[in-house]
Amino acid sequence: MKLFYVVSVHHTFNTTTIICVSRLYIRVRIFNENGTSKMRYDLKQKLLLAEYMTTQSIDLSARQQVMVLYTANSALDTAVIAWSFYDGTGKTTHMAGDQNEPPYQTGLDALLDGWRLIQASPLVSHVSGDEFKTGYLKYEFFFEKMVAMEEV
């Protein structure tokens, strides 16, 4: 018996698509709105992705901690000028104005401490006439840590 791990579920207006991985396969299953199976695709190759996902032993009960760091320029190794935490474990609460010192001096320090970078703001060309306008903080980096609930 193959052991599959569900890695994502997508809902559209009349179908549900479930993507699962095992050590050797990526399986895509599509269900009708009444829950009956519509299609099944098995990608019968030893895919690195499947290998990776299974060796990482995905714990579906894990919760995400999100940290957002804003740096002084687009390089991850520059100083953190602003930061936020959102804790999906529910064990800590963070809010505006709760800290005066950043958790890391640079974004690189966060990587060194095991945070995974999941999004970085793009560099956008300046629209003519808007070159000197300032607004939102420009260099935003989203990091995550997945925390097994038993660790909490």
* 78 vs 100: CA distance, rounded Å: 18
> Closer to another protein at the Cβ: 62 or 68?
68
**Does 82 sit near another protein (CB under 8 A)?**
yes
**What is the Cα Rg of the chain in Å?**
21
Q: How far is CA 6 from CA 26, 53, 145, in A?
A: 10, 10, 19
Query: Degrees (nearest 5) of the Cα angle 29, 34, 40?
Result: 15
Dihedral (CA of 39, 45, 47, 52) sign: positive
Shortest distance (Å) from residue 96 CB to another protein? 5
**Does 133 sit near another protein (CB under 8 A)?**
yes
Q: Are 18 and 32 in contact (CB under 8 A)?
A: no
Of positions 48, 60, 95, 127, contacts another protein by CB under 8 A: 95
Shortest distance (Å) from residue 146 CB to another protein? 21
**Does 141 sit near another protein (CB under 8 A)?**
no
**Does 66 sit near another protein (CB under 8 A)?**
no
Of positions 17, 78, 89, 121, contacts another protein by CB under 8 A: 78
Shortest distance (Å) from residue 118 CB to another protein? 15
Shortest distance (Å) from residue 140 CB to another protein? 9
| Beta-ladder partners of 16 | 11, 31
* 120 vs 28: CA distance, rounded Å: 29
The residues that touch another protein, with contacts defined as CB under 8 A, are 68, 70, 72-73, 78, 80-85, 93-100, 102, 132-139
